[in-house]
Amino acid sequence: MMTKYWNHRHNWGIDAVAVDSQNDNMVYAAVGGYTVDTVYNTDTNGAIIRSSDRGATWDSTELPFRVGGNMPGRGLGERLAVDPANSDIIYLGARSGKGLWRSTDGGVTFNNVTSFTAVGNYAQNKSDITGVGTDLQGLTFVTFDETSATTDTGATSRIFVGSANDGDVETVWVSNDAGETWEPVKGQPGDYFPHKCKLQPTEQALYLTYSNGLGPFDGTKGSVWRYDLRNSTWKDITPVPNATLAHGFGGLGLDLQQPGTLVVAALNLWWPDAQLFRSTDSGATWSTVWDWVDQAAGTMARHHKTVSPSAPWLENGFVNVPGGKHVGWMIESLEIDPLNSDHWLYGTGMSVWGGRDLTKWDKSPRENITIESMAYGMEETAVLDLASAPGGTELLMAVGDIDGFTYKDSSDLDTPPSIPWTNPQISTTVGVGKLIAHNPRQSESNCADCGFEDFAGNSVENVVRVGNSSDGSQSQIITSSDGGATWKAHLGTENSTYGGSVAYSADGDAILWSSWNKEVYLSRKGSDFAPVSTLAPGAVIAADKRNGTVFYGASKGAFLVSADTGATFTGAGSLGNATVVVDIAAHPVIEGEVYVSTNVGIFKSTDYGSTFTLITAGALTNTQLIALGLAPDASSWAIYAFGKGSAGTRLYASVDGGGLWQDIQGDVQGFGAVNSEKGKLAGSGNVPGRVYVGTNGRGVFYGTMAPDS
């Protein structure tokens, strides 16, 4: 793992992946999250990373432009491709009008293909003030024709490239001389953008899906086409008549064992479910994975069953519920195993799905196929908060889009949960009680983001979480009295307030809420939330875990304390030269002991914040997330912190109260983020030496320090 390189969390976004067909140990990826500064405030270019051992280790080549793995159109492509005849040749179709790039040394260096000028002129939303929608989409795919001749240098002569152009302008271009010159493919359709372009070599044909939107959320019209390479002719094979079409087309899978057999996905059909289309005669006729029985009544005949034994929470929380999706949504990535016609995979908004009996679709009489979750547990979760209650729930895990999960005991960690947080689900739970700097997300159908959470120190079965839905449809404060097994909405909130962080008083009778979009609020004994005028909006907050009358707060570099259960806050001890407070962690079992993470390090107080001591002097600076957990000796408490120390910016721990700090991350492990915005940290209150790290898209990691560490 390239520790220094991966400190750029921006580059954890993946926009394209390519495998060398001549050497399946070689894997390439185009990395970079966003092409604009307004998201993540990034200042780094993207890169091409390469692995010669199937992803065990990586090298990288920085690009002179940015890559948008989480930008509009992130399902297009693949934009990255290795020449099937020459492993040294790799092409990348760039975003932002940066054009076509080529490597002739196996990805070590890349140069612009200046002869390719159709760099794309389409932007999704030219009035988007964030800059995300105004950025040019650029190129959409690179596809080699392996049936074409090779040049004297061993390069494939015919290459196709897709370009996102506005209006009736050519979108598919071809080179017949290994990339030296380019021209638009004659006779091509001109209405929509090409999303996928795949070669069926036995048929000597290209199959392409089109949509009038870039995806992954939009698309109301589209088409599917077949291009015959032998006679250079196009054929419209769209499964749905244009007059009744209400979606585009995205995902495309070709069965290389059965030429003429393919599956395409609607992009997007939001109601009642996503649709899949299958043809066994090169697109002449089609069948669907479900049909209407009575559209007016909303009744369907499904030709599949959906199961998720490896992730039962999907069935119980998102499939077998009113309005649940059995097929998915936003389906752009779809593949049929080239060696097994029954095995297929597709990516959707609710994990990776697929099956192992796809050819049942073609039986006469027709047999239902089984669609199942192909991911074990949770896949690619963006973790928004973590908490572990001493003597109570081992792990409360708040995640984007799917709300969160409760692990009552450490023995539960290796078992996929049976259900996510529900009743209610809220769009983005941003916390179980610390701080957050999180961009608000709009509510989506049957989709929940849960954020910060907290537990009452003297009554650990009492838990609170806060959501980040900005649609005003429901309360964003949710409480539990059984350690997160069941939940109910707090009725004393005004629904337009959302997000931020939340702290539960030690006795469980008061909730302090530092909202994302408004003020800091307080509710006592279930009362309506009222503003706290003595604490600035957006303040970092925490509750003392033993004294039920004490809350802590911070704004900029100032630390404040409330001794009247959050009603008023007054200035407390000095944090030296600190100008930014990032995180506050109250000791889990000792009242008045509190730790404050700042831009100069970690301060400790044993007198409710009246006085502070810098405990990281000469060891750590610019500390970010901090947490306390049961130490390896099971009799004291360890302090965990992300910060800059002798080994670089990474995860450190102290088991002697801050005297000595040890790098516990090492050189191999990387998390992708170390700050409060895109990473989370919790020490176990029950397992000695255990620490949990939440990532932005990679789930939760946990490790356990040995007693002699």
653: three-class secondary structure by DSSP: strand
Q: What φ, ψ does residue 548 adopt, rounded to 5°?
A: -70, -10
Region for 411 from its dihedrals, namely left if φ exceeds 0, alpha if ψ lies in -120 to 50, beta otherwise: alpha
Instruction: Provide the CATH number for the domain formed by 9-185 in this structure.
Output: 2.130.10.10
pLDDT the model gives residue 674? 67
Q: Of 301, 337, 489, 313, which is closest to residue 397 (Cα–Cα)?
A: 313
358: three-class secondary structure by DSSP: helix
Beta bridge partners of 334: 346
Structure tokens of 248? 């585009």
81: amino acid identity, one letter: A
- Of the CA atoms within 13 Å of residue 307, those in its CB half-sphere come to 9
CA distance 1 to 12: 13
CA distance 689 to 601: 22
pLDDT the model gives residue 498? 81
Domain with CATH 2.130.10.10 in the chain: 9-185, 380-531
pLDDT the model gives residue 678? 63
- C-beta atoms surrounding 299 within 10 Å: 10
696: three-class secondary structure by DSSP: strand
User: 485 burial class (0-12, 13-18, 19+ CB within 10 angstroms)?
Assistant: middle
Q: Of 130, 124, 134, which is closest to residue 38 (Cα–Cα)?
A: 130
Second-level CATH architecture of 380-531: 7 Propeller (2.130)
User: Low-confidence residues of the chain, pLDDT below 70?
Assistant: 1-9, 38-43, 425-451, 469-473, 673-678, 709
pLDDT digit string, tens, across residues 71-80: 999 999 999 9
CA distance 275 to 261: 17
- Residue owning tokens 């090779």: 150
Q: Of 328, 244, 242, 226, which is closest to residue 284 (Cα–Cα)?
A: 226
CA distance 582 to 283: 57
Percent helix, strand, coil in the chain, to 5, is: 5, 40, 60
- C-beta atoms surrounding 610 within 10 Å: 12
DSSP string, 615-629: S-TTT-BS---EEEE
212: amino acid identity, one letter: N
660: three-class secondary structure by DSSP: coil
CA distance 73 to 76: 6
Contact 550, 508 (CB under 8 A): no
**Which residues contact residue 701 at a Cβ distance below 8 angstroms, ignoring those fewer than 6 apart?**
669, 671, 692, 693, 695
Q: Give this prediction's pTM.
A: 0.89
DSSP state for residue 383 in the 8-state scheme: E
Helix (H) or strand (E) holding 312: helix 312-314
DSSP string, 96-126: TT--EEEESSTTS--EE-TT-------BS-T
User: 297 burial class (0-12, 13-18, 19+ CB within 10 angstroms)?
Assistant: exposed
Q: What φ, ψ does residue 650 adopt, rounded to 5°?
A: -165, -165
* Secondary structure, 3-state, 122-145: CECCCCCCCCCCCCECCEEEEEEC
* Furthest CA-CA distance within the chain: 83
Structure tokens of 145? 């024709």
CA distance 328 to 351: 9
Q: How many helices (H) and strands (E) does the chain have?
A: 2, 54
Q: What φ, ψ does residue 618 adopt, rounded to 5°?
A: 80, 0
**Which residues contact residue 76 at a Cβ distance below 8 angstroms, ignoring those fewer than 6 apart?**
137, 140, 141, 162, 164, 193, 195, 196, 214, 215, 332
Helix (H) or strand (E) holding 163: strand 159-163
Q: Of 300, 306, 271, which is closest to residue 288 (Cα–Cα)?
A: 300
Structure tokens of 275? 């649709």
pLDDT the model gives residue 709? 66
CA distance 684 to 389: 7
CA distance 499 to 516: 5
